[in-house]
Amino acid sequence: MKRRDFLKTTLSLSALCMLPFPVMALAKEKKILILIELKGGNDGLNTLIPFSDPLYTKLRPSIGIKESEVLKLNSKLGFHPSLKFLHQSFKSNQLAILQGVGYANPNLSHFRSIDIWETATESEEYSDQGWLQQLSSKIGDGKELVKGIIVGDNAFGPFRGATSEVLVMDNPKRFLRKNAKLNLYENKQVLPSLKHILDVENSLSKTIEELRTKTEKVELPEMNDLPQDQVAGMIKALLSVLAAGHHVPVFKISIGGFDTHTEQLNQHARLLSVLDQTFQSLEKGLKQIGVWKESTLLTYSEFGRRPAENGSRGTDHGTANVHFAMGGTVRGGLYGKQPSLSNLDGEGNMKFTTDFKSIYSEVCQKIFKISDAEIVKKNKKLPGFLT
Amino acid sequence: MKYPIILLCLVLMQSALGMSTEEARHLQRRTGFHVDSKLTKKFESMTREQAVDFLMSRTRTTPLTPQPKWIEHFEYIYDAAIRMKKGQGQKADIKKIKQRTEQIIALFPNIPKPLVSKLRTAMDDEKKIRRVLNMISNRLLSKSLQAWWLEEMHKTESPLTERMTLFWHNHFATSFKKVKVLPWMYSQNLLLRRHAFGSFKDLLRDVSKDAAMLFYLDSNKNVKGAPNENFAREVMELFTLGEGNYSEKDIKEAARAFTGWNVDRLTGDYVFRHKQHDEGNKTILGQTGKFYGDDVLNIILQNKKTAEFITKKIWKEFVSPELNEAKINAIATTFFESGYEIKTLMREVFISDEFYKSSGQLIKSPVDLLVGTIKEFDIEPVNYLPYAMMAGRLGMELFDPPNVKGWPGGEKWINTSTLLIRKDLMTRLFRVGEKKEKANMMNPMQAMASMSTLDMKAVMKDRTRSQMLEEVLVLKPVSEIEDKKKDIAWARQIVLDPVYQLR
C-alpha cells in the first residue's frame, strides 16, 4: 500500500469513529514550555547587577556596569541597560528572576556542565537520558504533534536519548521540503533492530504528514521587532508551528555567543538585548496566537561567569547564575538568594543558592502535573515561581 | 547421470568443509565494513576456524595512514607555550611559533578567514596561545584527526584492527574537549591499536597511564590527603568489573592507592610523584596492603567479573544486543584462563554458532554507514574531512564520545533526526548526474557529495544485481525495489531501504 493511500484510509476511518463519540478527554491543559538556552555561559553578574555591593565594582573595575546605567529593581539589584523589556516586565510583575542557580561541585567545562544541566544529574553522575526524556511518557495529553521540537540545533539537548516523538528543525517549511521521501511501513517485524528503524520512520512519516496538512496554509502573525540574530528564525519557526494549531509541549531555542572571555562589554550588551527582544517577541507572538496563558518561557545556560574580570576585559567560566521565567503560568518576582561576593569558592566563583533541579522539579509539578518523578521526589523544596 | 552426482558430492563436500556463502558474508560484515565477493569465495573454501585465523593473522599494530602533518607543528607550539608559561621561554620563540602557525594554516586551505586572522593575531600574545590552540583544536584539527582515522578505516587491509581500536576507544572513552592536547589523543589511538589484539592486562595498564586518560579522569588531581575518585570509580564501573561488583569503600580506598599518578604537562609522559602518594594501608576487594595503583589493577584483573564484563561488551558490539548469558560466561572463562588474551576472546566469539545466527541484529553506527558505503560502492573520497563532519552530525564525533560511558549506540543511533540525515545523505550520494559544485566545507552533506565519485558501471562490473543486493543488504529489503531503473537509481533504492541500516 502506498503511503498516501494508507494515510487516507486511516484518517477517514478514524474520522468515522470519532463522529458519534465526541470524546472530551479530561480537560488536561495544553501547557507549553519554551526553553531558551544561552550558549557559552551567560555572565549573570552583569545581567542582574548587585550595584550597591562595593565588592562588585572592586572585582570588575573595567567591565562593571555603572550604577547610573543600571535599571534598578530595588535598592540593591538592577538589570543591565540592555534589558529594557524585562525590566518593564518585572515591574508589572510578569517576570520571575531566579537567583543563584547552580549545583554542588560545579564543573567548569562547557561540555560537561551542559550535560549536567540537560540530564539533571549530580555533578559526578552520567546519564544518557535528558531530563525531559526521562519524563517523556508523562508529558502531553497524547494528542500532541510530538513531545518536543528542538529548533535550530542538531542535538536533542534535554531530550537526548529519545529516538522518536522529538523533532529537530530549522524551520517547518524547509523541514517539510527536505523530508518528502519517507515511507509508511506495515511493521510486523520481530527483529528488534529493524522494528526500531521502521518505528522511527513511521512515526516521522505520520508527524510530517500532520505537520504538512496544517502548516502549509499558516499565516504568521506580524513580527517586526525580532532580534537581529539567528534566534529570530527559531522564534518564527516555533510560532508558525503553534499558529498552525499543533500542540507541542516543549520547544527549545538557543542564543549563542555567551562565552565572553575577552572584551565583553559591547558583546554582552548586544547578547542581552537579543535576549530581551526574544522575550518580547515571544510574548507578542504567543499572545496573538492565543496561547500565552498556558506558556512558560525559561532560560538556562551551562554556568555563570567568574565575578572577578580577567586580564582581557572579559570573564572566565563561573558557577551560580541568574535565570528568567515568564509566561501565563509565571508569578513575577525575585526568587532564591543572590550569592555573596565575599564568600567565594576556591576558584573564586560564587556559591549557588538554588539547585537548578528544584526549578525542573517545579516545572514537572506545576506545568506537567507530574508528581511521581524521581526529580520531584529528590527536590522537594521549590522556588515557587509558577502558579 | 554421472555429472550431477559428482556435482552433488562436490557441493556436499564443500559444505562439510567450508563456510556457507551467508556465513562468509556475515563474518565480513561484522569484522569489516562491507562484503567483498573475492573474500566470500575464499572463506567458502575455509572452515570458520581457518577463516577467523586468517583474519587474525592480518591484524595490525600500527596505522597505514601517515601521521597528520600538523601534529608536529602543534607539539612545537604547545611546548613553547608551556615553557613560556613556566618562565623558561624566550621572546625569540614567538617568531618560531608564528612560523609553525603559518604552516598549520597552509595545511588547511579551507579555514574560515576570521579564524585565520584570529590565529595570527593571538600568536603575538603569549597569554593567548593556549586558548587559541584550543580553539583551532576544537574547530579544525579535531576534524582533521577524525578524518585521519576514517581514512585508515577505509584503506586498511585489516578493517578488523580498526573495529577493535574503535571498540577500545569507546570502552576507554576520552574526549579531546577535555584533554585539549590533540597529539595526546592521537598517541592514545596508536596505543589502542598497538594493544588491540594483545593482552587486556597490558592494555589496561598502559591506557591507565596514558596522558589523555590521566587528564580525562583527573588522575593529575588525585593527591594524598585530597583524593579525586574519578579514575578509581570509572576503572571499576566502566573499564573492568562493572556496576555491582565493588563497593563505594573499594573506590575510596583505590583512589588513595592511585595517588601520586601524574602526567608531565610538557611531554605527556606518565610520572609518579612519591610525595603525593598515600603510603597507608588500603583494603580493596577484600585484600589489604600498602597498595600502589598497579596493585589495584592487578587485584581487579584477578577477579573473573572483569573477564565477564569485557566479554559481555564485546558481545553487544560484535554479536547482538541480546545477551546469551551461558555462552558469554563460557567465553569469559576461556578469556580469563588465557590470561586475558584478546585474540582468544575474539576467536571464540567469531567461531560460535550464536555469532552466525545474529544477522541483522546490529544497527550500523555512523562510522559503519559512512565507511561501509564508500567501500561497498568503491567511492573514492578526495578528502575525508566532510565525512568526519558527517559522522559528527550523525552523533559520532570520533575522539569525542559524549561522556566516559562512551556512545550509547544500538537503537540510539537511529532517531528522528539522524534517520532523516542518513536518508538525505544517501539520496545525495546516489543522485543521477549530480553536478560537481565546489565543495562548501561548512555544509558537510554538500561537500561529501561533491568530493566523492561514484562509478556505478565499475561497481556493477563483475556482479549481477541480485548478487549485489544480497551483499549490500543483510536481509531481504522491506521496501519495493523496482528493477526497471538505471543502475544508480536502482542502487539508491537499496541504500534508502531501512535494511541498509543493519548489519
Model pLDDT for residues B23-77, shown as the tens digit of each residue: 999 999 999 999 999 999 999 999 999 999 999 999 999 999 999 999 999 999 9
Give me the pLDDT at residue B72, please: 95
Residue A108's closest CA among A252, A272, A254, A259?
Answer: A259
Which chain B residue's Cα is nearest to A183? Answer: B479
Tell whether A97 is covered by a domain: yes
Alpha carbon distance A124, A105 (integer Å): 8
User: What's the mean pLDDT when you consider all of chain A?
Assistant: 90
Angle at A339 between CA A334 and CA A344, to 5 degrees: 170
Name the β-bridge partners of A384.
Answer: none
Cα→Cα distances B461→A175, A332, B370, B487, Å: 38, 72, 22, 11
Residue whose entry in the numeric block shows the C-alpha cell 511521581: A372
Q: Residue B84: pLDDT band by 50, 70, 90 thresholds?
A: confident
Counting one residue from chain A and one from chain B, the pairs whose CB atoms sit within 8 A come to 99
Q: Which residues of B touch A311 (CB under 8 A)?
A: 127
A203 contacts in chain B (CB < 8 Å): 416
Q: What is the pLDDT of residue B3?
A: 63
Residue type, A45: L
Q: Nearest-CA distance from A272 to chain B in Å?
A: 24
Residues B350, B52 contacting (CB under 8 angstroms): yes
Cα–Cα distance for residue pair B291/B244, rounded to 1 Å: 23
Instruction: Classify residue B68 as exposed, middle or buried by CB count within 10 Å of its CB (0-12, 13-18, 19+).
Output: buried
Q: What is the mean pLDDT of residues A210-220?
A: 79
Name every chain B residue with its beta carbon within 8 A of the beta carbon of A109.
177-178
B→A contacts (Cβ < 8 Å), by residue, are 127-128, 131, 175, 177-178, 229-230, 233, 321-322, 360-363, 393, 402-405, 408, 411-412, 414-417, 419-420, 423-424, 427, 475, 478-479, 496, 498-499, 501-502
A378 Cβ partners below 8 Å, 6+ apart? A357, A361
Judge contact between B383 and B444, C-beta under 8 A. Answer: no
Identity at B130, one-letter amino acid code: R
Q: Quick one: pLDDT at residue A10? A: 37
Give the pLDDT band (50/70/90) at residue B12.
low
Instruction: For B56-125, give the DSSP string.
Output: HHT--SS-SSPPPTHHHHHHHHHHHHHHHHTT---THHHHHHHHHHHHHHHH-TT--HHHHHHHHHHTT-
pLDDT of residue A150: 97
Query: What per-residue confidence (pLDDT) applies to A27?
Result: 44
Tell whether A96 is covered by a domain: yes
Is-contact B111 B144, C-beta < 8 A?
no
Could you report the per-residue pLDDT of B312-346, keeping only the tens digit for each?
A: 999 999 999 999 999 999 999 999 999 999 999 99
Q: Rounded CA gap, A256 and A230, in Å? A: 9
Beta strand A32-38 pairing with A250-255: parallel
Q: Which amino acid is at A380?
A: K
Question: Which candidate in A193, A196, A205, A206 is best for mutational testing of the B interface (most B CBs within 10 A)?
Answer: A193
**Given A178, A191, A201, which is nearest B419 (Cβ)?**
A201
- Residue A300, H or E segment: strand A295-300
Which among A55, A365, A178 has a CA at the least distance from the CA of B427?
Answer: A178
Interface test with A, best of B131, B138, B417 (most A CBs within 10 A): B417
Whose cell is 534589558? That residue is A83
Lowest mean pLDDT among A23-37, A59-73, A95-109, B295-309: A23-37
**Cα(A22)–Cα(A240) distance, integer angstroms:** 28
Q: Do B321 and A124 touch (CB under 8 A)?
A: no
Q: What is the CATH number of the domain that holds A283?
A: 3.40.720
**pLDDT surpassing 70 at residue A221:** no
How high is the pLDDT of residue A176?
A: 86
In a domain? residue A306: yes
Residue B480 has a pLDDT of 93
Q: Is residue A184 part of a domain?
A: no
Least confident range of A229-233, B90-94, B449-453, B481-485? B90-94
Q: What is the pLDDT of residues B296-316, one digit of tens each?
A: 999 999 999 999 999 999 999
CB contact under 8 A, B416 and A311: no
Nearest-5° Cα angle at A282, A278 to A283:
120
Q: What are the Cα distances from residue A149, in Å, to A32, A36, A116, A132, A146? A: 11, 12, 20, 12, 7
Closest residue in B to A160 (Cα) is: B412
pLDDT tens per residue, range A74-130: 999 999 999 999 999 999 999 999 999 999 999 998 989 999 999 999 998 999 999
Q: DSSP 3-state assignment of B248? A: helix
List the grid coordinates of A161: 536519548
How many angstroms separate the CA atoms of B375 and B33, rounded? 7
Rounded Cα distance between A153 and A39, Å, is 11
Average of per-residue pLDDT across B194-198: 98
Would the CB atoms of A200 and B420 count as touching at under 8 Å? no
Question: Residue type for A219, please?
Answer: E
For every residue of A75-91, which 3-state class applies, written as one string? CCCEECCCCHHHHHHHH
* CB atoms A194 and B502 under 8 Å: yes
pLDDT tens column, B406-445: 999 999 999 999 999 999 999 989 986 656 678 787 788 8
| Partner residues linked to A84 by β-bridges | none
Cα–Cα distance between B121 and B142 in angstroms, integer? 22
Position A18 pLDDT exceeds 60: no
**What is the phi/psi pair of residue B310, to 5°?**
-65, -45
pLDDT of residue B453: 83
C-alpha cell at A203: 512515526
Q: Is residue A170 part of a domain?
A: yes
What pLDDT score does A19 carry? 35
Q: What is the pLDDT of residues A145-203, one digit of tens each?
A: 999 999 998 899 999 999 999 999 988 888 888 766 788 898 888 899 999 999 999 99
Determine the distance in angstroms separating the CA of B79 from the nearest CA of chain A, rounded to an integer.
Answer: 23
In angstroms, the CA B374 to CA B427 distance is 14
Interatomic CA distance for residues B141 and B136, integer angstroms: 6
Among B8-12, B119-123, B163-167, the minimum mean pLDDT is found in: B8-12
The strand pair at A71-72 and A321-326 is best described as unpaired
Query: Is the distance from CB of B55 to CB of B31 less than 8 angstroms?
Result: yes
β-partners of residue A250 are: A33, A148
For residue A6, is it within any domain?
A: no
Element (H, E) at A32: strand A32-38
Q: Do B416 and A109 touch (CB under 8 A)?
A: no
H or E element that contains A148 = strand A148-151
pLDDT at A215: 76
Top-confidence range, A10-19, B277-286, B452-461: B277-286
B404, B414, B423 ranked by CB distance to A181: nearest: B423
Q: How many helices (H) does chain A have, and how many strands (E)?
A: 11, 12
Specify whether the backbone of A105 is left (phi greater than 0), alpha (psi in -120 to 50) or beta: left
H/E stretch holding B453 reads: strand B452-453
- Alpha carbon distance A144, A210 (integer Å): 11
Residue B218: count other Cβ atoms within 10 Å of its Cβ: 14
Cβ distance B177 to A109 less than 8 Å, yes or no, reads: yes
